Amino acid sequence: MAFSLMGIISVVLEVFRGAIPLLLVIAAIDLVLLGLFFAKKGGRTVRLGLPVKASIGVGVVVAVLAFISLPSLTNSSFAMLSGALDYLSLIGSSIGFGVLFGLLVLPPLLLFLGLKEANASTAGAAAAVGQT
């Protein structure tokens, strides 16, 4: 059972069982913030560049920190990593944490950095273009 799919899922569930309620609360808050983003979008211009780049940056930082700290969090060390499977699982889980946190931080970044106010000059220019 150690290397079966159900064995791996069981181990992961046991490791994260205490964090599941917190992750559900964070996911609910993210969904609310994403809903607020779409509700406030209205006639505003959406800038995706800065929020996406910041989200990728957060994901990379979390992936590096996870790569460094995961062995000690599992009562192991880098000296105990012996084969390709150990290294690949460490790299895979680090990338997974980076993607997770990058996606979790994207809705707040979209809400706070992704909306650009429609000012009078662009609104007037758009109206003038529409009249001609």
What are the pLDDT digits (tens) for 52-107?
A: 999 999 999 999 999 999 888 878 888 888 888 888 888 999 999 999 999 989 88
Structural domain for 49, as ranges: 5-118
Domain presence at residue 60:
yes
* Residue 116, phi-psi category: left (phi > 0), alpha (psi -120 to 50), beta (remainder): beta
- Number of folded domains that form the chain: 1
Q: Average of pLDDT values for 34-51?
A: 82
Residue with tokens 């791996």: 8
CA distance linking residue 58 with residue 80, whole number of Å: 28
Domain presence at residue 127:
no
Domain presence at residue 126:
no
Domain presence at residue 131:
no
Structure tokens at 83: 């084969």
Domain presence at residue 129:
no
